[in-house]
Amino acid sequence: MAMVSASAASATSFIAFFLLLLLGTSTGQEQIPNSDVDLLEFPLNLEFLEAEFFSFAAYGTGLDSMAPNLTMGGPPPVGGRRANLSPLVRDIIAQFALQEFGHLRAIQNTVRGFPRPLLNISAESFAIVINDAFGQRLQPPFDPYANDINYLIASYIIPYVGLTGYVGANPNLQSTTAKSLVAGLLGVESGQDAVIRTLLYERALLKVVPYPFTVAEFTNRISNLRNKLGKEGVKDEGLIVERGQGAEGRVSGNVLAADQDSLSYARTPQEVLRIVYGSGKENVAGGFYPRGGNGRIARSFLPAT
């Protein structure tokens, strides 16, 4: 008698366990709060820019021919070109491009996402950033697609901003789904930044011909410009810094940018937009985004159109 009821009880709990398992898998998708949706969608703006810039440079073509679904119907970018790269750098940049396709898909599979914004990745767009960084018009105008060094310097401009954005978003996320996605994106984004910085660091003291400035000076100028546009203090550092700014205040080599404890700097969406618009204002579109970014966060700062 006792045996029967014990096995009946265990059968009941067995069935209950199975039901829970079934329920768990059918409702496996965690509810993502709206604030997380916004914070996950916002970086699509940067991922689209990186995907197109890397893909054009490596392959001479972008998402529209490589992975058209990922554009979600947004307009094609302006000014992308196949870059004149050595086999090693082309190989690395091709891998970065494909990694960005994966990032776009991962975000779009987690949240609804939005169409690719209009992107201006023309040589002139980058030349304007470089002129602003130096406070003078370089002659001839800087061409990101001309060679390895120029392309790596131009690449120094982009993934790092995405990295600081992910670091900034992380503490504001609520759901496990969003946190694990952002950790995964941040890991690869910071890896890309490290590869770019290392390749540039090897060449830090070389002149960027035909200009009288070294690679290190280019990175320092670009980082200073980003600090100025972001308007929230120093969150960006070039490849060779004052000793006090290097790791533990003991080195001037600065292959990675980080704070006094060698932790990555964080930026808010506003800071990111001020930088990538080149305007220093989250409500004034421009630069790589002639019509501004897409998604609730970026659109919320822009005048209604």
| Interface with ligand NAG (CB under 6 A) | 69, 78-79, 120, 122, 124-125, 128, 290
Could you give the count of Cα atoms lying within 13 Å of 305 in the half-sphere of its Cβ? 12
Q: Which residue type, as a one-letter code, is found at position 152? A: L
Q: Smallest gap, in angstroms, from Cβ of residue 227 to ligand NAG?
A: 22
Residue in 147, 128, 189 with CA at minimum distance from that of residue 57: 147
Identity of the residue, 120 or 223, whose beta carbon is nearer to ligand NAG in the bound complex? 120
Identity of the residue, 110 or 120, whose beta carbon is nearer to ligand NAG in the bound complex? 120
Tokens of 226: 């980003």
Q: Smallest gap, in angstroms, from Cβ of residue 78 to ligand NAG?
A: 4
162 within 8 A of 271, measured Cβ to Cβ: no
Identity of the residue, 133 or 216, whose beta carbon is nearer to ligand NAG in the bound complex? 133
Instruction: List, in sequence order, every residue forming a beta bridge with 286; answer none if it has no partner.
Output: 289
CA distance 47 to 165: 11
Q: Smallest gap, in angstroms, from Cβ of residue 144 to ligand NAG?
A: 12
Cα angle 44-189-124, degrees, rounded to a multiple of 5: 65
Q: Smallest gap, in angstroms, from Cβ of residue 240 to ligand NAG?
A: 30
Identity of the residue, 70 or 185, whose beta carbon is nearer to ligand NAG in the bound complex? 70
CA distance 50 to 95: 12
Q: Smallest gap, in angstroms, from Cβ of residue 126 to ligand NAG?
A: 9
Q: Smallest gap, in angstroms, from Cβ of residue 73 to ligand NAG?
A: 10
CA distance 55 to 166: 22
285 within 8 A of 302, measured Cβ to Cβ: yes
Identity of the residue, 111 or 128, whose beta carbon is nearer to ligand NAG in the bound complex? 128
Identity of the residue, 181 or 285, whose beta carbon is nearer to ligand NAG in the bound complex? 285
